[in-house]
Structure 1
Amino acid sequence: MPSASVTITAFEHQFLPYAAIKNWQESHAAALERLQAAHKGGSNWFTLERKGIRFCEYVGIIQLPGLAMEILPKADNPNQGNKAHVLLESELQNRWRNVLLGMLQQVLDLPLSVPSAANLATVPHRMLDVFLKAFIQQTEFVYQNGLVKHYHVAEGNRAALKGQLLFGQHLNHNLLHKERFYTRHQVYDRIHPLNALLRMALLRTADLARNAGLAARARTFLLHWPELAEVSVPEERPALTRKTQRYGPALDLALLILRAQSPSLQRGHNQALALLFDMNSLFEGYIESLLRRAATAAGCTVHAQQEKTFWATIKARPDIVVSVLPTDQDPTPVRNCILDVKWKVPKAGKPTADDMRQVYAYCHLWGATHGVLLYPWVSEEQQPRRGIYAPSEFAEAGTQITGQTLFAPVLQANLTLNPRLGLDVLSVMRTLQAPNK
């Protein structure tokens, strides 16, 4: 008996009882187990328990035959308050869905269209459709501007002698056809790896799209696309030249779709898909991106993922190092600040001892006088804390190191992403005067 269709919207770190999922069957759990086994690192996405699913820090989309799941970010406790997980299109879910899409748009530089509140209210919305629609639009742009061509070597029979005659193959194929020539020759056409990758992603899109209009649009477009053999999906985006630069956005989306596939889990024409992102890494990348954009205006430099030797072969790598530069208004000498980004809400607004020790070590290695733990702001109850670390014999004489928490307003009052977040954070960094001055 085929599994009933199930659609789930949940939040990261939420426990979702099977009893709360309409039409849930054991076959869905078995399919999720196969999905995790098929993907490297997939065992961290969620945990299937006896009475329900416990989600982890991964957010995004999972789609299987008969099962579609959206896992959304949420900065506070998803199990508190009302039963938001059963309200598939609730205001709360729409808000955090748009937060996720906005962060992905910023960090991955993808042409994703974040739906407006009006569209969300009038159109049934699924996050996967946003990716698929953006991919089709970008691929249409590439096609309208002409598919790239290149020279490549081909072998086969020709009516005229052109290129290198391959005697062995010629005798095998043309003993009775003396008017033909089996040659190796150069061809200039649209058989190009980039075109093949886009076609592969179009085929997947036609199968994955739940929106009938998107699926039909992809299938119609395939009728105009050249027939190309499949190629291996690269781990990194192929280098683009001046002639292929226009492929960038479409290729990025195509690789996201193709890498999220599990061909071993095919069921008919459907494919399993897991388009998931580690929310901790995504938030870190989002903050870094905003800081870099605001750095010049704030008179700072921003360095991410710098690495130094901590002990033997063990490396230390803070999320972000901000160097506050002197300006006419603030002639204080250059000072470094360590910024450690956390996508979580500390209990009672108090950081853990391990986090504070980690920041302390970073400050020593980078000669920083301030270490900041940056959390998302979610309520008025969150107040920054600040304290001076105990004197250290390893620091420069007379130098004190300050550690503090900072709560960043990710959302504005209208519940959209705060575009000034980067500048606001760097402004706080500038106000942190050297404590020994």
Structure 2
Amino acid sequence: MPAALVTIVAFEHQFIGYSTIENWQDRHAQALEQLQTEQKGGAGWFTLERKGIRFAEYVGIIQLPGLSVEILPKADDPNRTGASNGNELKAVHDRWRSALLGMLRQVLNLPLAVPGPAGLAAAPHKMLDVFLAAFVQQADGVFRAGLVKHYHSAEGNRSALKGQLMFGQHLNQNLLHKERFFTRHQVYDRVHPLNCLLRMALQVAADQAYSAAVSARARTLLLHWPELPQVKVPQERPVLNRKTAHYGPALDLALLLLRANSPSLQQGKTQALALLFDMNSLYEEYVETLLRRAAAQAGAIVQPQTEKRFWATIKARPDVVVSIQPTPTDPRPARTCIVDMKWKVPKGGKPTPDDIRQVYAYCHLWGAQHGLLLYPWVSEAQQPRRGAFASSQLATAGTVITGQTMFARVLLPNHTLNPNLGRETLQALRSLE
């Protein structure tokens, strides 16, 4: 009888005691420790303590043989959400699973069919299956459009002399078979690195999917996919051309899954998978994406991210630099603003000294008149704060630099992502004087 699947659902930065996890065994901790050791950057994902697991700022999915871990954003920590029972807490989990998937869809530009909280609640482990189902669908589309072929070199025995005769191998293998020729020759077939990567990811989908339908679809596609060798997973996305442009969405998902996969922990047919994202970076990139989309209509320009030398070899790079342009309703001259995103809830709604100093330094380096600290909204008790920085000899004469806090409503009252977050932030910047 197979061992029971151990499931953990936690918030980032939360501590989960081993004694509270049903069916927990020492082997699960050993597998997590091995995964952490072998995965690049895995040391910061979580800390295995004597009595439990303390998660860090990473959110996403960890899947090991017999163990499934989901780590959700911290804005719905049980101590702050008011979840008084299991049903309420489950609703909070489902809400933030949906929100997390929606943010990833925007930031990574992936064709994820993000279900609502009700859809996630209806099927366990749906968050991982959303990625797997999206990839299988895209891979199926690539297969139907036709797998690309290319020329590549191959070595082997042939019945006719074609290509370059490899004398050493020929004499070694064909001394008694004079009808054969060991050659290096050009072959035109589907043994293309892109096809190899998609097949490797299809195998991951077939092995990791909890949904029987997703797994079956992946295995069916593997039956029709040509047998191909495994290749090294590239660190950068391969450059696509006119013939391979249709591989784009499937390739992006394939690379995401393959980089998250850990074959060294393979047990039977089940491999480890760690699909984790730094929530701080995700929040920054998500807000920046919405700001860029809203900029044109809001009369603003979101400048490309640049860095400047701060001290010696230390460089500074703000999250977003925004240029507010004159409009018919606001004819004031163009002005530069700094937006710095922080995925945390400041105590009492007050920014920490380090946060406000950072914005002040950015304003000086980029010649900005305004600096905005953008925190996530969690309650009506949070109120924006605004004030002028002390005068500085480094600033342009007569220039007053102001700093302000704002609390971004990432989720609407109906618990869906706020599509107007970018426009609302730009409006707040325009209202600054």
- Letter matched to residue 374 of structure 2: L
**Corresponding residue for 1:272?**
272
Q: Is the 8 A contact 2:11 2:76 kept in 1?
A: no
**Corresponding residue for 2:404?**
404
Give how far 1:162 is off.
Answer: 2.4
- Measure the CA separation in 2 of the matches of 1:408 and 1:238: 36
Which stretch of structure 1 is more off in the superposition, 168-177 or 386-395?
168-177
Q: Is the 8 A contact 1:8 1:88 kept in 2?
A: no
2:83 aligned with 1:74:
no
For residues 91-240 of structure 1, what are the structure 2 equivalents within 5 Å? Answer: 91-240=91-240
- Measure the CA separation in 1 of the matches of 2:337 and 2:383: 20
- Measure the CA separation in 2 of the matches of 1:409 and 1:81: 15
- Letter matched to residue 137 of structure 1: Q
**Corresponding residue for 1:58?**
58
Q: Is the 8 A contact 1:14 1:78 kept in 2?
A: no
Count of residues in Structure 1 that have an aligned counterpart in Structure 2: 433
Give how far 1:153 is off.
Answer: 1.2
**Corresponding residue for 1:39?**
39
Give how far 1:77 is off.
Answer: 3.8
Q: Is the 8 A contact 1:300 1:323 kept in 2?
A: yes
Query: SS at the partner of 2:74?
Result: coil
**Corresponding residue for 2:329?**
329
Q: Is the 8 A contact 1:84 1:92 kept in 2?
A: no
**Corresponding residue for 2:394?**
394
Q: Is the 8 A contact 2:76 2:92 kept in 1?
A: no
- Measure the CA separation in 1 of the matches of 2:204 and 2:125: 20
- Letter matched to residue 96 of structure 1: W
1:189-238, CA deviations, whole angstroms, 9 ceiling, x for partnerless residues? 10000000111111122211122222222122111111111111100110
**Corresponding residue for 1:290?**
290
Cα-Cα RMSD: 1.9
- Measure the CA separation in 2 of the matches of 1:100 and 1:118: 15
The TM-score, its normalising length taken from structure 1, stands at: 0.94
For residues 294-333 of structure 1, what are the structure 2 equivalents within 5 Å? Answer: 294-333=294-333
User: Closer, same or farther in 2 for the Cα pair 1:303/1:84, shift >3 Å?
Assistant: farther
Structure 2 stretches of 5 or more lacking a match? none
User: Closer, same or farther in 2 for the Cα pair 1:279/1:304, shift >3 Å?
Assistant: farther
Q: Is the 8 A contact 1:84 1:90 kept in 2?
A: no
- Measure the CA separation in 1 of the matches of 2:18 and 2:122: 29
Give how far 1:320 is off.
Answer: 0.6
1:338-370, CA deviations, whole angstroms, 9 ceiling, x for partnerless residues? 100011111111100110111111111111111
- Measure the CA separation in 1 of the matches of 2:150 and 2:144: 18
Query: SS at the partner of 2:315?
Result: strand
Query: SS at the partner of 1:298?
Result: coil
Structure 1 stretches of 5 or more lacking a match? none
- Letter matched to residue 350 of structure 2: K
**Corresponding residue for 1:247?**
247
Q: Is the 8 A contact 1:360 1:371 kept in 2?
A: yes
Q: Is the 8 A contact 1:58 1:279 kept in 2?
A: yes
User: Closer, same or farther in 2 for the Cα pair 1:401/1:249, shift >3 Å?
Assistant: same
Give how far 1:287 is off.
Answer: 0.5
Give how far 1:270 is off.
Answer: 1.1
Query: SS at the partner of 1:257?
Result: helix
- Measure the CA separation in 1 of the matches of 2:80 and 2:96: 16
Which stretch of structure 1 is more off in the superposition, 91-100 or 256-265?
256-265
Give how far 1:86 is off.
Answer: 5.8
Give how far 1:117 is off.
Answer: 4.1
Give how far 1:25 is off.
Answer: 1.6
- Measure the CA separation in 1 of the matches of 2:84 and 2:154: 59
User: Closer, same or farther in 2 for the Cα pair 1:82/1:390, shift >3 Å?
Assistant: closer
Give how far 1:379 is off.
Answer: 1.1
User: Closer, same or farther in 2 for the Cα pair 1:25/1:83, shift >3 Å?
Assistant: farther
- Measure the CA separation in 1 of the matches of 2:122 and 2:48: 34
Q: Is the 8 A contact 2:138 2:250 kept in 1?
A: yes
**Corresponding residue for 2:29?**
29
- Measure the CA separation in 2 of the matches of 1:165 and 1:405: 73
- Measure the CA separation in 1 of the matches of 2:32 and 2:256: 20
- Measure the CA separation in 1 of the matches of 2:367 and 2:171: 76
- Measure the CA separation in 1 of the matches of 2:18 and 2:121: 28
Give how far 1:17 is off.
Answer: 1.9
Give how far 1:410 is off.
Answer: 1.0
- Measure the CA separation in 2 of the matches of 1:302 and 1:85: 44
- Letter matched to residue 148 of structure 1: V
Q: Is the 8 A contact 2:11 2:77 kept in 1?
A: no
**Corresponding residue for 1:367?**
367
Which stretch of structure 1 is more off in the superposition, 3-12 or 249-258?
3-12
- Measure the CA separation in 2 of the matches of 1:84 and 1:338: 40
* Sequence identity (%): 69
